[in-house]
Amino acid sequence: MAKITIDNITIDVPDGTTILQAARKIGGKVVPPAMCYYSKLKGSGGKCRTCLVKVAQSCTKDPRPMPKLVASCSTPVQDGMVVQNLTSPEVIDARKGIVEFLLLNHPLDCPVCDQAGECDLQDLSFGFGMEETATVEERREFPMTDIGEYIKLHINRCILCYRCVYTASQLTDQRLLGVLYRGDVSEIGTFIKNSIANDFSGNMIDVCPVGALTDKTFRFKSRVWFLKPMNAHRECARCSGKVAAWMSGNEIYRITGRKDEFGELEEFICNECRFEKKDLYDWIIEGPRHIKKKSVISANHYEKMEKPSVISPIEEKMLPPDQL
Ligand code: SF4
Ligand code: FES
């Protein structure tokens, strides 16, 4: 076990734990943001630098600070390590620089982007972004492409975090998606414009931290803050069938996987559940999902269970007449 102190909070964690995982055990504001690390995807992390922290003391045996800020998602803890996240002005400064860097090519099209309201980069910009950019260069521009029947790829918004690449290669046995070319011409693409047609490709949409991969069955249908996310499930032969159903009244606008407090999917869901089951009768609605208070989606969001009225007439018909 190793004892680690992050922003003045001390915790014991097993050896081999990364600083980010230790911070997640503590929770709250101590947790550094992560745009590329994804605990369920092997090899993820180390690409975006948003999780940089300051190691003020390396370990008990060597109390010297580490000379540079380190990526918390890929740095293992050591016994006696002291880490600063929000308590270090150097980290705050670096994070502002990272946001500016990520926005060098990312368009500021949140008003028309389907990811708005649940975008990690939007949240990060809100916390650490500057009012003005220092750059005058034009942003990179790519045509929009379709990846298979259900997914739209908008490379202009991509921050090259590789999450979708790992999802595509780790959930199936074929490697179909990758980063093509190098340097400032790098782009996410399918090999010679192959489309991705496998049962779990829709999960790439959920792992994308920005709006580069969007659900064609939901694009421009509504804004997420007008919808109510409900836990729902169905019998499914391919996945657990446990999803979040985004509803307005009795209508299901979109289906996504259920995300945990760190924005990661609890379970990957299949394309049939995600794209083809939009009828209320397809699902058993369990109740409203918990939404963080600071999220824009929490506006007018009540967590009291309200069964959709379409379900109740069947039950009402089955009640004995004296109870009707
Ligand atoms: S498309 Fe999204 S998930 Fe894929 S690399 Fe770009 S930002 Fe990451
Ligand atoms: S989350 Fe650590 S580098 Fe991206």
| pLDDT per residue as tens digits for the range 168-206 | 888 877 767 777 777 777 877 775 456 677 888 899 999
Going from the Cα of 205 to the center of ligand 1, the distance in angstroms, rounded, reads 9
For residue 323, the SS3 value is: helix
Could you say which ligand is closest to the alpha carbon of residue 180? 1
Could you say which ligand is closest to the alpha carbon of residue 38? 2
Which protein residues are within 6 Å of ligand 1, measured from CB? 158-164, 188, 207-210, 212-213
Backbone angles phi and psi of 185, in degrees to 5: -105, 5
Pairing of β 242-248 and β 187-190: unpaired
Residue 319 is predicted with a pLDDT of 54
Residue 51 is predicted with a pLDDT of 97
Residue 323 is predicted with a pLDDT of 55
Q: Which amino acid is at 107?
A: P
Domain spanning 2-100 has what CATH number? 3.10.20.740
- Which stretches of the chain drop beneath a pLDDT of 70? 175, 191-195, 299-324
Q: Which neighbouring-strand residues pair with 287?
A: 231
Residue 308 is predicted with a pLDDT of 55
> Is domain 105-215 in CATH 3.30.70.20, yes or no?
yes
CA-proximal residue: ligand 1, atom 6 (nearest)? 158
Could you say which ligand is closest to the alpha carbon of residue 24? 2
CA-proximal residue: ligand 1, atom 8 (nearest)? 161
Ligand 2 atom with minimal separation from the 36 CA: 4
The count of residues in the chain is 324
Which among 120, 156, 159 is the best mutation to test ligand 1's pocket, defined by most ligand atoms within 8 Å of the CB? 159
Report the candidate in 134, 140, 62, 127 with the shortest Cα–Cα distance to residue 95. Answer: 127
Contacts (Cβ under 8 Å, ≥6 apart) of 275:
150, 202, 215, 217, 255
Which protein residues are within 6 Å of ligand 2, measured from CB? 34-37, 45-51, 71, 73
Between the alpha carbon of residue 252 and those of residues 194, 208, 232, 237, 244, the distances in Å are 30, 22, 11, 21, 10
DSSP structure class, residue 166? H
Residue 187 is predicted with a pLDDT of 79
Q: Which amino acid is at 14?
A: P
Residue 313 is predicted with a pLDDT of 47
CA-proximal residue: ligand 1, atom 3 (nearest)? 208
Which part of the chain has CATH 3.30.70.20? 105-215
Q: Which amino acid is at 32?
A: P
Which part of the chain has CATH 3.10.20.740? 2-100
- pTM for the full predicted model: 0.87
Going from the Cα of 48 to the center of ligand 2, the distance in angstroms, rounded, reads 5
Residue 292 is predicted with a pLDDT of 77
Residue 322 is predicted with a pLDDT of 60
Residue 93 is predicted with a pLDDT of 95
